[in-house]
Amino acid sequence: MKTSAILHQEDVPNWAALRTEVPEVAAKRLQGILARLDASEKQIFALRGMAALLIEERQLYRFVVDEEVGDYFQSFDKFLKGVCPNSWSYVRDALRAVKELKDVPFEDLLQMKRCNIQQLKQTSSSVRVLPEVIEAAKKLPEKELVAKLNGPGYDQHLETAAPVVMAAKEDVEEFETAVEMVTLIDDCHSRAEAIKAIGIRIIQECAAEYEHLKAIDDELEKA
């Protein structure tokens, strides 16, 4: 399978020309763009993970200049946050996935959506290498894959993730900072683990105050 489906800078279409191109030609070219981008949706997560893995394993960041200090990067973490300031957490997740799924051929990972790759991480090593499981991860929506792996013959007890929805920009920034902090402090291996750890911390630290205030509310309702 080719891994060159992602559009590069030199491949950016001439949108102005496409607006005036004859319909038959414009339709064919735009169809091709959408088809390539559709394929890249599956590829990009695994591609990022493999690129990060090679850089980390070979310490290639030592050959890249950190513009902030005018010298070569001295750590992979600093390199990642410097090169991918908007997506370093996403790349970290991809890196962990590629590491944990080293028993699954990389060419197969390239054909899986991120959600299905994350589900395979939770699957036992003896199950996720089965040809029919790999094919299912490549073709099925996440819910159908989970249903299959939880069913007879696999019995994996997987769950689909529920999204955490934010509204205001400042709330998102604070939440992302909390995720970063907890990931490092609690040595979380995924974003999902970090989010769960945040919830556990809140419950533990606020339990007494919550019970006190809840008791007051209950008394007021009875009055």
**pLDDT tens column, 42-76:** 889 999 999 999 999 999 999 999 998 999 999 99
Q: What is the pLDDT of residue 163?
A: 62
Answer yes or no: is pLDDT of 214 > 70.
yes
CA angle 153–93–101, rounded 5-degree value: 40
Q: How many CB atoms lie within 10 A of CB 73?
A: 22
The mean per-residue pLDDT over the stretch 175-192 comes to 79
Task: Specify the residue for token string 């607006």.
Answer: 19
Answer yes or no: is pLDDT of 34 > 70.
yes
CA 32 vs CA 3, 45, 52: distances in Å: 16, 21, 29
Q: What is the DSSP letter of 160?
A: P
Q: What is the pLDDT of residue 205?
A: 86
Q: Amino acid letter at 97?
A: A
Q: Are 80 and 91 in contact (CB under 8 A)?
A: yes
CA–CA gap between residue 177 and residue 4 (Å, rounded): 34
The mean per-residue pLDDT over the stretch 27-43 comes to 87
Answer yes or no: is pLDDT of 26 > 50.
yes
Answer yes or no: is pLDDT of 1 > 60.
no
H-run or E-run covering 158 = none
First to last CA, the chain: 70
Query: Please, what sign has the CA dihedral across residues 70, 75, 76, 81?
Result: negative
Answer yes or no: is pLDDT of 9 > 60.
no
The mean per-residue pLDDT over the stretch 105-122 comes to 92
Range with the lowest mean pLDDT among 65-69, 97-101, 190-194, 209-213? 190-194
